[in-house]
Amino acid sequence: MASALTLDILQQLIGFDTTSAHSNLALMDYIQRYLKEQGVDSYLVHDEAGNKANLYATLGPAAKPGVMLSGHTDTVPVTGQQWTLPSHQLTLANERAYGRGTADMKGFLAVVLAAVPVLARAELHTPVHLAFSYDEEIGCVGVRRLIENLAELPIKPALCIIGEPTEMKVVTAHKGKLAARVRVTGKEYHSGMAPYGVNAVNYAARLVCWLEQLAAQKREQGPFEDGYDIPYTTVHTGTIHGGTALNIVPNHCEFLFEIRNVAGEDPRALLARFGDYAETLVAEMRNTAPECAIDIAITTEYPGLSTASDAEVVAFVQRLAQTDGCHTIGFGTEGGLFSTVLGVPTVVCGPGSMAQGHKPDEFIEISQLELGERFMARLLEQLSLPHGE
């Protein structure tokens, strides 16, 4: 059974509705007070509006590079999901802990925070850094401000462990992501005189078809990257809205699409090709109405993670997790930003499975929390050695 402290902290964390649309400051206040009780100072890096914050804390000698344990505090919404259990109240049943965020990823945060009292009392020769972020679920937004802050420190962490749910497997790679919004401006007209108008929905459909053809090309021609269930770049259109009435030629249509790219593919290059095609359509549209336009704006972008299997961080975390092999995941994390922007070697390893994340009656197996606790105990042993590792 997981420790009573881990479960108590998890219960507290689940009780905060930190859906990305809401503030996470109440949760951060709880964490800061908890850390302070253990003699650990922390500081917040807020968003521009001051409604959300990242948290950073160091346990042990701050003058040395250390091990950064990173996780996000926000969760996806429960709106529209059919929960049979309270979504923001921890329920223990069937050797599982249920509640929004238990798997993704407050279970990891609880395991880490439960280890703080022991870490704070230990004679650490290598520090442990806690980096908790906001707005990961909407495109790894909040952590960027924290990274800007960390980049100014004289000593950066030596390595980073992202605690996303991997069933404690060591993940060294995931795809990058680029998402964009496309707004098509046509010219409205009575549908009885449709040729005099410019149908924004029709032109949006042609753009979506082009993206679908690109997706098929990637599926058939690659480039391919071993280790993934889907070993190529994917292209996907997620939402589309346009028109007001059947008897009006629509003057507006908008859709969202994304590119999830393997390391060998530049999503910006694919976006440029898409933009070139859009320009040909704009020229065609303006033959009828000069005010027509197609506007493409990136809404989310983060790099993939690609850590070499023989990197020191991989062997170190494999020892802590008592596992071998390197794995990939199909979802994105903040790891690519820590790795490429901050220059800190990074892997992903945490309790739970994303198979349970984002779903109604989300849960984490109690056995996974126990594995996380053992991971933290081994980390303590490693960092308490005379010279650390």
Predicted confidence (pLDDT) per residue in 328-360, tens digit: 998 999 999 999 999 999 999 999 999 999 999
Mean pLDDT of the 184-211 span: 97
| pLDDT tens digit sequence for 265-276 | 999 999 999 999
Q: Give me Rg for the CA atoms of the chain.
A: 24
Give phi and psi for 362, each to the nearest 5: -55, 145
Which CATH architecture is the domain 176-302 placed in? 2-Layer Sandwich (3.30)
- Does 4-172+305-383 carry CATH code 3.40.630.10? yes
Distance in angstroms between the alpha carbons of the first and the last residue of the chain: 29
Predicted confidence (pLDDT) at residue 19 exceeds the cutoff of 70:
yes
Q: Which residues pair with 54 in a beta bridge?
A: 45
The confidence score (pLDDT) of residue 249 equals 97
Share of the chain above pLDDT 70, in %: 99
The confidence score (pLDDT) of residue 385 equals 63
Predicted confidence (pLDDT) at residue 7 exceeds the cutoff of 80:
yes
Q: Which residues pair with 234 in a beta bridge?
A: 260
Predicted confidence (pLDDT) at residue 389 exceeds the cutoff of 50:
no
- 13 closest CA partner among 94, 132, 117, 123: 132
Predicted confidence (pLDDT) at residue 387 exceeds the cutoff of 70:
no
The confidence score (pLDDT) of residue 1 equals 81
The confidence score (pLDDT) of residue 205 equals 98
Share of the chain above pLDDT 90, in %: 95
How far, rounded to the nearest angstrom, does the alpha carbon of residue 290 sit from its chain's CA centroid? 41
Domain boundaries, the chain: 4-172+305-383, 176-302
Three-state SS string over the chain comes to CCCHHHHHHHHHHHHCCCECCCCCHHHHHHHHHHHHHCCCCEEEEECCCCCCEEEEEEECCCCCCCEEEEEECCECCCCCCCCCCCCCCCEEECCEEECCCHHHHHHHHHHHHHHHHHHHHCCCCCCEEEEEECCCCCCCCCHHHHHHHHHCCCCCCCEEEECCCECCCCEEEECEEEEEEEEEECECEEHHHHHHCECHHHHHHHHHHHHHHHHHHHHHHCCECCCCCCCECEEEEEEEEECCCCCEECCEEEEEEEEEECCCCCHHHHHHHHHHHHHHHHHHHHCCCCCCEEEEEEEEEECCEECCCCCHHHHHHHHHHCCCCCEEECCCCCHHHHHHCCCCCEEECCCCECCCCCCCCCEEEHHHHHHHHHHHHHHHHHHCCCCCC
pTM (two decimals): 0.90
The confidence score (pLDDT) of residue 50 equals 95
| Average confidence score pLDDT of the chain | 96
The confidence score (pLDDT) of residue 388 equals 41
Give the whole-angstrom CA distance, residue 47 versus residue 131.
15
Predicted confidence (pLDDT) at residue 16 exceeds the cutoff of 70:
yes
